Amino acid sequence: MAEHPAYPVGLRLSGRRVVVLGGGQVAQRRLPALIAAGADITLVSPEATPSVEAMADAGEITWARRPYQDGDLAEAWYALIATSDPAANTAASAEADRHRVWCVRSDDADQATAWTPATGHSEGVTVAVLTTDARGRDPRHTAAIRDAVVEGLRDGTLVAPHHRTRAPGVALVGGGPGDPDLITVRGRRLLAAADVVIADRLGPRDLLAELPPHVEVIDAAKIPYGRYMAQEAINNALIEHAKQGKSVVRLKGGDPYVFGRGMEEVQALAEAGIPCTVVPGISSSISVPSAAGIPVTHRGVAHEFTVVSGHVAPDDERSLADWPSLAKLTGTLVVLMGVDKIGKIAETLVAHGKSPDTPVALVQEGTTAAQRRVDATLATVAEVVRAEEVKPPAVIVIGAVVNVGPSPAA
Ligand SMILES: C[S@@+](CC[C@H](N)C(=O)[O-])C[C@H]1O[C@@H](n2cnc3c(N)ncnc32)[C@H](O)[C@@H]1O
């Protein structure tokens, strides 16, 4: 049976009876894809792992809590045989043969009439990799090939040039805090398919160097804005390029909606009738502290974290933050855009009740090669920032979580 290569085919199992024998690790791994395929699944097994049991509890599968018995495979279209009893597996396999039911066997691929490929998905395509014969089966090899293909499709290094799917209009992509590995898979894929990228100063700048030469990269900070406000100029650039039928990515630092003016761009695009998709990003407010060894919450230490903008001083009439209330919170305060105003901020927090000894950490250029962390307290932070020449961009963490990690200073 194994001398010929397997014939690859995609089974359309929606509403069709599929029988799974055995409720262990194999079933646990295979069931999600069968459920996703819409199969009408019956699991036959006296026991099941907690995850498999949860699928039964959720009504995703029907569970017959007993061992396999002859007749279980009647009317099935497909069977997965994975019990821990070799005799039951052999008997079930023979029954599958009698009923002409394609079956996979976890214990003996050579005796199976079907093999499960290593599968992955990207952008509406399923990648399935099979070995050519059962004796030469090396699941790690097929999984590695699957991973390489899926990863290539996701990051755009594997693109069929004439068939690439372009997102129409504009994608507002949260690029994460700076490390190019910290953008989402979707963001990276959209970036790889873009004609024009309008990028902020913050975010994963290194990814821009990987873009093919035909991609026009525009530095948002350098868009000439004449009598316009900078944001209006950026909005107009997005609209103009999209109107030319181009696929435009607006690459932003962190998450587009965390002090990122993302919604202003979404609104401007909506008014211009340009389709827009928003891809969330990893915000620096959480990831930069994390990269410096600071958890924004910690059991028994902080039950809340609050992210606040420090771009205007607490006594500035434009400030929307209620600093006296923030001073009363017991959890973590994360201040973005606060380096210039940290003296005033610390003073205000102390004036409204925070201890001057409250630990403070400033993490500059987090997740990049230039990352550095400077520690202080509310009493000393203004002086420390001056002495250490801390510069933006930096995330400032205020609270006891600063000291919970194994080595607070870096
Ligand atoms: C205009 S806000 C944008 C925040 C962004 N949307 C986010 O979710 O991370 C810019 C501020 O984010 C913080 N920031 C962003 N990236 C950073 C990084 N890699 N290291 C330190 N701070 C960063 C700094 O406080 C900076 O002044």
Per residue in 254-296, pLDDT (tens digit) is 999 999 999 999 999 999 999 999 999 999 999 999 999 999 9
Q: What is the pLDDT of residue 333?
A: 98
Q: What is the pLDDT of residue 134?
A: 60
Give yes or no for residue 336 CB within 6 A of ligand 1.
Answer: yes
Q: What is the pLDDT of residue 223?
A: 75
Decide if pLDDT at 101 tops 80. yes
Q: What is the C-alpha separation between 59 and 199, in angstroms, rounded?
A: 46
Q: What is the pLDDT of residue 136?
A: 64
Q: What is the pLDDT of residue 114?
A: 94
Q: What is the pLDDT of residue 408?
A: 46
Q: Give the C-alpha distances (Å, rounded to integers) separating 54 from 50, 62, 84.
A: 6, 11, 21
Q: What does the pLDDT average to over 331-342? A: 97
Give yes or no for residue 331 CB within 6 A of ligand 1.
Answer: no
Is the separation of the CB atoms in 28 and 51 below 8 Å? Answer: yes
Q: Which residue, chain included where needed, has tokens 């510069």?
A: 391
Q: Band the pLDDT of 176: cuts 50, 70, 90.
A: very high
- Atom 7 (ligand 1): residue with closest C-alpha? 254
Give yes or no for residue 367 CB within 6 A of ligand 1.
Answer: yes
Write down the pTM of the prediction: 0.80
Residue 89 CA to chain centroid, in angstroms? 39
- Report the range of poorest mean pLDDT among 162-166, 190-194, 240-244, 295-299: 162-166
- Atom 21 (ligand 1): residue with closest C-alpha? 394
Decide if pLDDT at 410 tops 50. no
Give yes or no for residue 284 CB within 6 A of ligand 1.
Answer: yes
H helices of 17-168, where? 25-36, 50-57, 86-99, 139-155
Q: What is the pLDDT of residue 109?
A: 87
Atom of ligand 1 nearest to the CA of 178: 19
Q: Band the pLDDT of 166: cuts 50, 70, 90.
A: low
134 token code pair: 């059962």
Secondary structure element (H or E) that encloses residue 64, with its range: strand 62-64
What residue type is 264 in one-letter code?
Answer: E
Decide if pLDDT at 184 tops 60. yes
- Concerning whether 200 is annotated as a catalytic residue, the answer is yes
* Ligand 1 centroid from CA 46, angstroms: 53
Give the chain's domains with CATH numbers: 17-116 (3.40.50.720), 170-279 (3.40.1010.10), 285-403 (3.30.950.10)
Atom of ligand 1 nearest to the CA of 337: 27
305 token code pair: 């974290």
Quote the mean pLDDT of the chain: 92
Give yes or no for residue 175 CB within 6 A of ligand 1.
Answer: no
Give yes or no for residue 68 CB within 6 A of ligand 1.
Answer: no
Q: What is the pLDDT of residue 371?
A: 97
Q: What does the pLDDT average to over 152-158? A: 77
* β-pair partners for 197: 217, 249
Q: Which of 44, 98, 106 is nearest to 81 (CA)?
A: 106
* Ligand 1 centroid from CA 260, angstroms: 9
Decide if pLDDT at 135 tops 80. no
Q: What does the pLDDT average to over 17-45? A: 96
Q: Which of 72, 200, 255, 375 is catalytic?
A: 200
311 token code pair: 């771009």
- Concerning whether 40 is annotated as a catalytic residue, the answer is no
Q: What is the pLDDT of residue 19?
A: 98
Out of 201, 202, 265, 286, mutate this one to test ligand 1's pocket (max ligand atoms within 8 Å of CB): namely 202
Is the separation of the CB atoms in 156 and 189 below 8 Å? Answer: yes
Q: How many CB atoms lie within 10 A of CB 196?
A: 20
Q: What is the C-alpha separation between 279 and 174, in angstroms, rounded?
A: 6
Q: What is the pLDDT of residue 229?
A: 73
Q: What is the pLDDT of residue 132?
A: 76
**Phi, psi (deg, nearest 5) at residue 390:** -70, 135
Decide if pLDDT at 130 tops 50. yes
Is the separation of the CB atoms in 139 and 162 below 8 Å? Answer: no
* Ligand 1 centroid from CA 136, angstroms: 51
Q: What is the pLDDT of residue 42?
A: 98
Give yes or no for residue 72 CB within 6 A of ligand 1.
Answer: no
Q: Band the pLDDT of 151: cuts 50, 70, 90.
A: confident
Give yes or no for residue 290 CB within 6 A of ligand 1.
Answer: no
Long-range contacts of 59-63 (CB under 8 A, 24+ apart): 60/31, 60/35, 61/20, 61/31, 61/35, 63/23
